[in-house]
């Protein structure tokens, strides 16, 4: 309604589908990133259209994306968001090569984003446990001072437990 009042077009954007990436993975981890990628493609397409570069735009929402879009989406990174950082110093000193120390970095600003963080952590640690069962896994998440950690932490514990993760 507000967009109509202001004379602004409103577009509902669908999440990106994995097949649109031609077997490439998104650079940012987490299933929710397909929603963000869909928004990024829609924004870039709108800008390209306004600049007169219709030839560079995706044809539709079901075809694979142009290679330039795929390169951008698959190489995107944001330090500290769903980032996995093995401790190379500790890991090189370990006598038992099956043991390692891995840090999982993310942030949360709402109960919903904390649940997304917990699902990502649970999924990522399950994957790593298949290759390195003795790995010590540490989740570090950013909770800015304007957020209430006591409101967020129960969502982390509950969601990780529901998804088979250990905290």
Residue 14: count other Cβ atoms within 10 Å of its Cβ.
13
pLDDT of residue 133: 60
Q: Tens-of-pLDDT digits for all 167 residues of the chain?
A: 999 999 998 889 999 999 999 989 999 988 889 999 999 999 999 899 889 887 777 767 678 999 999 999 999 998 988 888 988 776 666 555 556 888 999 988 888 888 988 898 888 888 776 666 677 888 888 877 777 888 888 888 888 888 776 55
Considering Cα of 117, then 118, then 121, then 122, what sign does the dihedral take? negative
Q: What is the CA radius of gyration of the chain?
A: 20
d(CA 99, CA 79): 25
Q: Which of 133, 67, 50, 141 is nearest to 97 (CA)?
A: 133
Tokens for 97?
């090569």
pLDDT of residue 101: 87
Tokens for 31?
């299933």
Considering Cα of 121, then 75, then 108, then 159, what sign does the dihedral take? negative
Break the chain into its structural domains and give their ranges.
2-75, 83-162
d(CA 88, CA 119): 25
d(CA 154, CA 157): 5
| 120 contacts 108 by C-beta, under 8 angstroms | no
d(CA 47, CA 150): 41
pLDDT of residue 142: 82
Global pTM reads: 0.73
Residue 114: count other Cβ atoms within 10 Å of its Cβ.
27
Q: Residues 6 or more apart from 166 whose CB is under 8 A from it?
A: 125, 160
pLDDT of residue 165: 62
């Amino acid at each position: 309604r507000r967009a109509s009042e202001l004379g602004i077009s409103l577009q509902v954007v669908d999440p990106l589908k994995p097949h649109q990436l031609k077997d490439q993975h998104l650079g940012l981890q987490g299933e929710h990133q397909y929603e963000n990628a869909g928004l990024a493609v829609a924004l870039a397409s709108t800008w390209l259209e306004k600049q007169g570069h219709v030839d560079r735009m995706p044809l539709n929402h079901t075809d694979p994306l142009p290679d330039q879009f795929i390169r951008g989406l698959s190489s995107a990174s944001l330090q500290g968001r769903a980032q996995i950082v093995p401790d190379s110093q500790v890991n090189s000193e370990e006598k038992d090569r099956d043991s390692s120390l891995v840090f999982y970095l993310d942030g949360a600003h709402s109960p919903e984003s904390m649940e997304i963080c917990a699902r990502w952590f649970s999924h990522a640690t399950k994957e790593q446990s298949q290759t390195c069962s003795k790995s010590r896994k540490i989740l570090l998440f950013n909770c800015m001072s304007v957020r209430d950690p006591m409101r967020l932490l129960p969502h982390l514990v509950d969601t990780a437990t529901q998804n088979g993760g250990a905290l």
